[in-house]
Amino acid sequence: MSDKKATLTVDGIDEPIELPVYSGTLGPDVIDVGALTAKGLFTYDPGFVSTAACESQITFIDGGKGILLHRGYPIDQLANQSDYLETCYLLLYGELPNKEEKEKFVSTITKHTMVHEQLARFFQGFRRDAHPMAIMCGVVGALSAFYHDSLDISDESHRQIAAFRLIAKMPTLAAMSYKFSIGQPFMYPDNSMGYAENFLHMMFGNPCEPSNVSPVLSKAMDRIFTLHADHEQNASTSTVRLAGSSGANPFACIAAGIAALWGPSHGGANEAVLEMLEEIGDVYHIDEFVARAKDKNDPFRLMGFGHRVYKNFDPRAKVMKESADEVLAELGIVDDPLLAVAKRLEEIALEDEYFIERKLYPNVDFYSGIILKAMGIPTSMFTVIFAVGRTVGWIAHWHEMISGSYRIGRPRQLYTGYTQRDFKPMDQR
């Protein structure tokens, strides 16, 4: 924090208003507008384009330079040298674990992978064709009905165990939502396996055969989780914070985050990318779709392109692209028509004036859709996988907020509706 000030003059208010300006360790200064309410003023910022809603020490993004740091560590270093559970530890506790700390953390998470047996019956209430994200919104919220010993948000030990349970059980629930949709039996987690390996085992294994998870695919999945682990105050994380600010329990807050993530402008984009590539079909139709994306009278957008914060290459997309190349080579996929469309689309968008001017680069979802498809993950599970990876980010932000000082989140509005008028009885309407 600093003693810098901003001065605001407003027509109709005699005195200039002095507002404190704070500096973080990185990033733009922020103007504290809290004093404006007393002057009868609010700020107006739809979409929170210029608004910092909280102070945080977890993740930093410089969208102009394409930088993403978790607790100071660049995402490419974490994706290439660390693993998902180590990144979870870092996000939750602020430092990389030493060997013993890591072993203890991994063991704790691993011991929480199973879900209450009764929760499995919960799934029967859903239609077979339910979208797995719809199931996830329901069953993750339902965890609060099963784990009463982690609902007291004022108790640090409850918050800790809620975090462990959420990180550990998300892959189990995600795989169950898939197994339910295809009518196969749920697979219990196998705690001799690593986090991503176990997830693939529960997704693709069956009780009649020994498990056979490819180490290459496990590594790729672990990296996908790592790349999605956190992204500061995005729509779903802000939703978790807002829900949490009312004192709601952590499972309910994470369910709210899952709901916010589902939309195609956010996590749902990875699924939308694949649907778009399938709709384009082959490289000869690309021009038509690019023209539609540029046409202001057409709501179509190129899914997997553009980002609110990144006005440069999304650093996650860089690593994801490398990973996609590795996985495709490993799986021997060279002539895939969707891949050809994706590659050509990427080239066109990077050369086209419309995309260059607006700084619309391929984002993480563009490449994650391609890699997940190559790994044989059904499209409807793409956003669920994003949710699994992002759970640690949500819970780390929720924990940071609850363990510090916070107030219920309550935005104001610019009201443009009717002024007061008298109720009309039915016969006068």
Residues noted as catalytic: 266, 307, 365
Q: Do the beta carbons of residue 266 and residue 234 sit within 8 Å?
A: yes
Tell me the closest approach of the beta carbon of residue 235 to ligand CMC, in angstroms: 7
Binding positions for ligand CMC, 100-119, rule CB under 6 A: none
Q: Which helix (H) or strand (E) holds 22?
A: strand 17-22
Q: Which is nearer to ligand CMC, 132 or 189 (CB)?
A: 132
Q: Which two tokens stand for residue 335?
A: 């002539």
Q: CA-to-CA distance for 48 and 74, rounded, in angstroms?
A: 25
Residue 315 CA, chain-centre distance (Å), reads 15
Position 311 contacts ligand CMC (CB under 6 A): no
Question: How are strands ordered across the β-sheet holding 59-62?
Answer: 59-62, 67-70, 73-74
Rg (CA), the chain: 23
> Quick one: which of 306, 315, 389, 393 contacts ligand CMC (CB under 6 A)?
306
Q: Residue 387: how many CB atoms within 10 A of its CB?
A: 26
Q: Does 239 bind ligand CMC (CB under 6 A)?
A: no
Return the residues of window 25-54 that contact ligand CMC according to CB under 6 A: none
Q: Phi/psi at 43 (nearest 5 deg)?
A: -90, 160
- Is residue 396 within 8 A of residue 89, CB to CB? The reply is no
**Among residues 293, 375, 381, 384, which is the contact residue for ligand CMC, using CB under 6 A?**
293
Give the span between the Cα atoms of 393 and 167, in whole angstroms.
10
376: Cβ contacts below 8 Å, ≥ 6 apart: 204
301 touches ligand CMC (CB under 6 A): yes
Q: Are 106 and 96 contacting, i.e. CB atoms less than 8 angstroms apart?
A: no
Give least dist CB 360 to ligand CMC, A: 5
Nearer to ligand CMC, 85 or 302 (CB): 302
Least separation in angstroms between CB 223 and ligand CMC: 16
Residue nearest to ligand CMC (CB): 306
Size of the site for ligand CMC (CB under 6 A): 20
**C-beta closer to ligand CMC: residue 162 or 274:** 274
Min separation Cβ 195 and ligand CMC, Å: 22
Rounded least distance, CB 276 to ligand CMC, Å: 10
Nearest residue (CB) to ligand CMC, 164 versus 367? 367
Of the listed pieces 34-42, 99-107, 303-311, 332-340, which binds ligand CMC according to CB under 6 A? 303-311
Closest by Cα among 392, 388, 370 to 379: 370
Residues in contact with ligand CMC, shown as a per-residue x/- string from 339 to 378 under the rule CB under 6 A: -------------------x-x--xxx-------------
Return the residues of window 256-285 that contact ligand CMC according to CB under 6 A.
265-267, 269
Q: Which residue, 90 or 235, has its beta carbon nearer to ligand CMC?
A: 235
Smallest gap from Cβ 271 to ligand CMC, in A, equals 11
Q: Helix axis angle, 364-374 relative to 315-330, nearest 10°? A: 20
Going by the DSSP 8-state scheme, the letter that residue 185 receives in this structure is P
216 membership: H or E segment, kind and range: helix 215-227
CB 21 within 8 A of CB 12: no
Residue 110 or 363: the one with the smaller Cβ distance to ligand CMC is 363
| DSSP sequence for 34-58 | GGGGGGT-----GGGSS---S--SS
Minimum CB separation from ligand CMC for residue 61, in Å?
10
Binding residue (CB under 6 A) for ligand CMC from 231, 318, 373, 397: 231
Token code pair at residue 343: 């590659």
Phi, psi of 405 (to 5 degrees): -100, 135
Chain contacts with ligand CMC (rule: CB under 6 A): 231, 234, 265-267, 269, 293, 301-308, 358, 360, 363-365
